[in-house]
Amino acid sequence: MPLGTLDRTPPPFFKQGPSALSKLVVFSALALFLMVADQRLKVATPIRSALATVLYPLQWVVLKPVQAVTGAADYVTSLHSAQRNESEALERLARQADRAQQVEQLSEENRRLRALLGMRERIQTPTRGAQVLYDSADPYARRVVVDRGQKDGVFAGSPVVDEAGVLGQVTRVYPLVSEITLLTDREQAIPVVNVRTGVRDVLYGSSGVAGDHLELRYSLATADVAVGDLLTTSGVDGVYPPGLPVARVTTVERTPQSPFSRIVCKPEAALQGTLHVMILKPVNPEVLTEPAVARELGIDGATTGGTP
């Protein structure tokens, strides 16, 4: 039988139904119809709601591990961020506290310098500013070292004041620095006058275990001295200018067994913690080289600039 006469159609047993093209056309038309119907008539909304309700538990179970991993990652990230922010905040706080302390220190130093300038305007004698470097190493002496010496024209016996009053006296001079003996040193004495009564006296330093203070020794029990009296320099020694604040009376003790009173005074100057001072030129520098005149005035060697 010739090949052209062969029947090429499949036998009925192998027939596959509609062709693929017809299926594509039918399902495309159905999909288009459903989209238009859902858009116009909302026919798929109940079906969609039912499917969402049925599938929600499965979605909840599936999403829980993902949420747990995401939450753990967020917690670790936020913890590190919080720790970093806390560290930065503490550093900023420390810097701000340091700056605030510096501002307070500078404000206090500025106030003292202004007061020192005000004291300088009231003093008629030549003055020279100095800065306190450190305290003397001798624990039994009340002395400080300043940054002015022979090269700056400082010489032994020069009075030293701060913004509040008399601080002490230069007792040793070196080429670059000088040593100042404070008023509370046991070998210091300074002639003073009671502003209220006009009575002259000599104020002595008294340093010890009980504390540093000044004393008016050998004052009669009948002397008119009261707590709160201001004592200033009398100027009779020829070293200190008159009228400089020295101390204020804090205690007056009178006993019948003694003809003398025990009078304790507190220095007006800040003997502890002062940073800037002024070195004055003595009113009469010749007194510092005349021990006989000093003895006649009743002033010991420390007051007249001698070396103890």
pLDDT in tens, 156-169: 889 998 888 899 99
pLDDT exceeds 60 at position 117: yes
Domain with 185 in it: 127-297
Closest of 137, 186, 203, 128 to residue 161, by C-alpha = 128
Note the pLDDT of residue 95. Answer: 79
Note the pLDDT of residue 193. Answer: 93
Query: Last residue of a domain, which of 122, 146, 166?
Result: 122
Same domain, yes or no: 224 and 151: yes
Q: How far is CA 280 from the centre of its chain?
A: 32
What is the C-alpha separation between 69 and 75, in angstroms, rounded? 10
Asked whether 279 and 154 are in contact (CB, 8 A), the reply is yes
Mean pLDDT of 65-94: 83
* 42: in domain: yes
* 302: in domain: no
Closest of 230, 269, 264, 261 to residue 250, by C-alpha = 264
> What rounded mean pLDDT belongs to the chain?
79
Same domain, yes or no: 113 and 249: no
Query: Last residue of a domain, which of 122, 154, 169?
Result: 122
Predicted TM-score of the model (pTM): 0.57
Note the pLDDT of residue 107. Answer: 66
Mean pLDDT of 134-158: 86
* 59: in domain: yes
Range picked from 40-49, 173-182, 210-219 for highest mean pLDDT: 173-182
Query: Last residue of a domain, which of 122, 141, 176?
Result: 122
Please write the tens of the pLDDT for every residue from 253-285: 988 888 888 899 999 988 887 888 888 888 776
Note the pLDDT of residue 195. Answer: 92
Query: How many domains in the chain?
Result: 2
* Tokens, residue 209: 């275990």
Q: How far is CA 218 from the centre of its chain?
A: 45
Asked whether 166 and 122 are in contact (CB, 8 A), the reply is no
pLDDT exceeds 70 at position 31: yes
Asked whether 146 and 171 are in contact (CB, 8 A), the reply is no
Segments of 92-157 assigned E as strands: 127-135, 143-146
pLDDT exceeds 70 at position 188: yes
